[in-house]
Each structure stands twice: as structure tokens, then as C-alpha cells.
Amino acid sequence: MANGMGTLYIASSGLRNSQNALNTTANNLANVDTEGYVRQQVLFSDKEYNTFGTAAVSKQQAGLGLDIGDVVHARDYFLDKAYRAESGRQAFYESCFTAVDEIQTYFQEMEGKTFQSALEDFKKAFQELAKDPSDSVRQNLVVQKAGLFLSRSQSVYEGLKSYQSNINTKVSQDIDKINKLGHKIHELNQQISKIEAGGIETAMDLRDERDLALDQLGALAKISYKEDYKGVVTVKLEDEYFVDELHTYEIGKKTDKLTGFITPYWPQLSDTDRDIYVNVFDFNVDISTALNSDVGELKALIMSRGDHWADYSDIEGKGEQEYLDTTNLSVIIDMQAKLDQMVHNMITAINDQLCPNVTGPVGVTYQDANGNTVNLSDAKVLDTENCARGSDGELPPRELFVRAGIERYTEVTGSDGKTYYVYNEEDTSDTSYMYSLTSCGVNEELKKIETLFPHLKQNGEVDQQLGERLEALWNKDLVGLDPTDPDECNIEEYYQKMIGGLATVGNVYQKKAEDLAGSVLTIENNRQQVIGVSSDEELQNMIKFQNAYNASSRFMTVISDMIEHIVTRLGNG
């Protein structure tokens, strides 16, 4: 009778634990598509034994049935670490390639209407002008094509600035996302620590949430982490503490007053009252896989956006290292500067033909606006003897492109009593004084009266040589691409180099991103073999545990009937 009652324990444990195993399997199936969920595997073990006595050979024991020894929550630490590192690197190069691809759309080289077509139309207008510089139709064509080309160039430049603003918005969103993930990891640390403090229960679902947060954080920035004996994960971001047992050290946002560009910094390491900021990212370190400095979407976004709006002064007069430091690996800044340099050199070369300058005469002085005496030999003046004039014959002649902040010349009277037209030099500290895309336009007087376009010699004859010189500018070597490629080339060659270089950089980023995407997929497939839920396997488990439950139920019924039969017979006896 005692053995019969003990057998009920065995049947009961079979029912109870088969039901628990079914619940675990059902939970796996319910979360088969849940991001970050790790499958739970039931391992059975023997329940305790009752000992009745000790025989000469072995103990006299009766088992009490089945128990769940453990519910395995399997993860591979090394696969997780590899996945987060590679996904962060893949996100870095994917963001870099996206920036290059977006820049290419502004030039529309892959579309029907290319930027280069505007350049070619402008060139053809000068070719027509060279045939007859006095033809008002040809003069008007030059003015119109100049306006179209400048408008197209400014549209591309403003598009690049707009894209910088879009990236800046994404930078802000990524910083917010990183801070949110940091707080989430910190909160999950506390919850997991409380639940597992007793050493009985494992907070599996909470651990899944925390691991998913680490996956997401790893794609945004370079992280390292470790878990202590209490189940608390400490996270470093870009080699600085981001989450520890007590705090989440949020990333701050420093906003540039001029551009609105956001730079992430560490508030706990900075002294904002003294304007001392410790930036999250150090761009003085070379970008390389060997140095582990090519990780994270946020870093790629900031690098691509740059820290300012560029113009030709970011290239002109710079040495190679100074140029690299100025552009600081930003593909947008580099393209802004190169585009502006191309336009700057083109329009200044054209203006210098229409309004040629010479060094002022030695020994002659003049008074500037501030009353200071200036030697004309230290300045450039209009070459009045050789410059062409418009139909009105006035001096100085009209330049084709004008600056927003200052006229080309200031009229002065020299100490010799003669009138001179002193050239107002460009000033890179004031963009309105520069022949730059941000401050340049086509002369409004020429738009209204095209015959004011310089085309006549002092004797009234048509200056045919001027038209030929203007046409020849398109084949003249004017400028080098940048300090790393200083060989001078003409405008069309410059443009081809500029676009070709952009395409090359884009191909490098694209190939790297595609290769890393393959690596990430391989690692994730290997990881899913460990943590992933297979619906087929879980359905097999469900059938197995259901049959075990049914078998335990039938076993209990048999034992119950047997006991009832014995009790009934004893009672009748």
C-alpha cells in the first residue's frame, strides 16, 4: 500500500512537470518572431529518493518521480560580442556610403540632367561669343548661361548644406536613442539583480531585453561590456564609462551657434562653464579596422556631416596635412570646398579677362576710406589701357560675376592727380567679400542691358582677342584638385577628377559595407542556431511533452484504480 501511494507521487510529478514543459514550449512558440527572444530549453532530472533501509549490497530506495532540473537560457558570449562589433562596423560604412550616394544625387550624374551639362552649356556660350563678341544675342547668351550655371552650382551647394542639416537631425536622434538605451540597460540591471539575488530564479525575459538593448547600442557606437556576479552589466562607450551599477552617464549635445551642428560630449568629464568640452569621438585617430575606430553609425554620421559649411578657403593655400585636418574626413565638406573652388577659379578667371588688373605704379599714393596713405604699388588696379569696355564706354567695365558685399573696384585719386580703380581683394574672414557660391551673383546691369558686356577697345573696334581669350579659358590649366593632387588642370578635367574621386570613395564604402553585411549575417545565423526558436523543433517538443502528460495521466488512473480495488476488497473481506 505504501508503495502504491508512493507511485502516485511519480505520476503526479510526471503530470506537473510535463505541464510546465508544455508551458515553456508554448512560450517559445508564442515568441518565435519576437526580436531578441532566446529560446528556453527544459532539462529533466530525478526527484529526491526515500530510503527504507540499507542492504548488504545497496540501499533500499524508492524514487518520488520527475523534476525539472533546469531551464536552459543559452547564449554564446563570443558570438554576441562578434555580432555587436561587426554590426557596429557595418553600420559605420553603410552610413558613409549613404552620404556619398546622396551627394551623387545632387550632381545627378546618374539621372538625365547632369550638372556637367550646365557646365558644357556655359562653355558653348563662350564659344559662340568668340565668333563675334559684339553680337548682343551672343552676349545675352553668355549672361543667361552664366546665371543658369551659377544657379545650378548654388543649388547643389545648398543641397549639400541641407543634407548636412538632415544628418544633424539624425545625429540628435541617435544621441537620444543611445541615452535611452543606456537608461534601459541600467533599469534592467536593477530588476535582474533583485530577481536573481536569492539564487533561485533567473530573469530570462529581462536578460533578453538587456541583450537586445546591447545589440542596438552596438550598432550605434563602439561599446565594451562585462557582467559582474550580481548580474549587473557595466558598459563602456568609446572607451568611457556609460552605464555602471549606479549611473547612466548621458551623452550631452553641444550646439554650434552658426550652423546648429550638434557635437556629442561627456558632461561628467567637461567643464561647460569654462567652455571645456570632452568630445565623445576623437577624429584625430585614423579610421581603421586595426585601431577599432571604424565602429558605429553615430560616428559615421558626424564624420560625414563635418563641423562647418565649407568654401574654397578650406583648400586654397592649405598644405596637405592642414587640408586633411580642415576637411576632417567629411565627404560633404570636401565636396563643398571642391565645388566652390571650381566655381571660384572659373568666375575669377572670367572676371580677370573682362576687367584685367595690374600692379599700381611705383611712387604714387592715395588716401583710403580711413584717411590712411597707401602706396599704389602695394595694390592691384584696373588696367585701363588694355581693358575692353561696354557700349557706354564707361570705366570700370562691368564684371560678369559680382560679390554681394563689395564692388570690384574703389575709385581713388592718386598723388599724381590721376584716377585709379583699386581692386578690392577678397577677404576669407567675410564671405560677402569672396567670389564664393554663398555670396556671388551675375551682374544685374548685364542682365538688363547685355551690350554693357565688355567687348570694345578704346578706339571703338570690337575686341576680338577678348572673345578668344575667354574661349581659351576652358582649356587652360587653372587649379589643382586639392593639396593631395596639386597638378593643375582645366575646369572640365577638374570636374571629372572631383566626381571620379567621389565615386571611388563611394565604391570603397559600398564594398566594405556589403562585405560586412555578409559577415554580420553569417554571425547572426550562427547565433540563431544557439538562441533562435525553431517552430518545427518546438512542435516536436510539444507532442513529446503532451504524450508524456497523457502517459502520466493514464499511469495515475491505473494506480488509482488499483488502490481502489485493494481497498474495496479489504473492506468486503
| Dihedral (Cα; 180, 185, 187, 192), 10-degree rounding | 160
pLDDT of residue 1: 44
The β-bridge relationship of strands 440-442 and 409-413 is unpaired
CA 515 to chain centre: 18
383 alpha-carbon distance from chain centroid: 50
What are the pLDDT tens digits along the chain (573 aa)? Answer: 445 566 777 777 777 777 776 777 777 777 777 777 777 776 666 666 655 555 555 565 555 666 655 566 678 889 999 999 999 999 999 999 999 999 988 887 545 457 888 889 999 999 999 999 999 999 999 999 999 999 999 999 999 999 999 999 999 999 999 999 999 999 999 999 998 887 777 788 888 899 999 999 999 999 999 998 888 999 999 999 999 999 999 999 999 999 999 999 999 999 999 999 999 999 888 899 999 999 999 999 999 999 999 999 999 988 888 888 888 789 999 999 999 999 999 999 999 999 999 999 999 999 988 889 999 999 999 999 999 999 999 999 999 999 999 999 999 999 999 999 999 999 988 999 999 999 999 999 999 999 999 999 988 899 999 999 999 999 999 889 999 998 999 999 999 999 999 999 999 999 999 999 999 999 989 988 877 777 777 678 778 778 877 877 887 788 777 777 777 876 565
Please report, as a single letter, which amino acid is at residue 344.
Answer: H
- 314 within 8 A of 325, measured Cβ to Cβ: no
Supply 214's cell numbers.
546591447
Residues 461 and 445: beta-carbon distance below 8 Å: no
Q: Say which amino acid occupies 272.
A: T
* CA 191 and chain centroid, separation: 34
Please check whether residue 542 is in contact with residue 22, taking contact to mean a CB–CB distance below 8 angstroms: yes
Question: Cα torsion for 146, 149, 151, 155, to the nearest 10°?
Answer: -160
Q: Around 455, how many Cα atoms within 13 Å sit in the side-chain half-sphere?
A: 21
pLDDT confidence of residue 532: 72
What would the grid cell of residue 381 be?
A: 588696379
Q: Can you point out the beta strands (E) in 266-408?
A: 357-359, 365-367, 373-375, 380-382, 401-403
Could you report the per-residue pLDDT of 237-261, keeping only the tens digit for each? 999 999 999 999 999 999 999 999 9
Give the C-alpha separation, 515 to 267, whole Å. 36
User: Read out DSSP for 189-200?
Assistant: HHHHHHHHTTSS
Report pLDDT digits (tens) over 126-156: 999 999 999 999 999 999 999 999 999 999 9
Q: Which of 419, 430, 369, 463 is nearest to 135 (CA)?
A: 463
pLDDT at residue 488, as a whole number:
92
pLDDT at 166: 96
Is residue 251 classed exposed, middle or buried when 0-12, 13-18 and 19+ CB atoms within 10 A define those classes? Answer: buried
> Euclidean distance between the first and final Cα of the chain, in Å?
17
Q: Distances from the Cα of 295 to the Cαs of 101, 239, 263, 423, 430, in angstroms?
A: 20, 12, 17, 50, 38
Model pLDDT for residues 282-304, shown as the tens digit of each residue: 988 889 999 999 999 999 999 99
Which of 299, 309, 306, 297 is closest to 329 using CA atoms?
A: 306
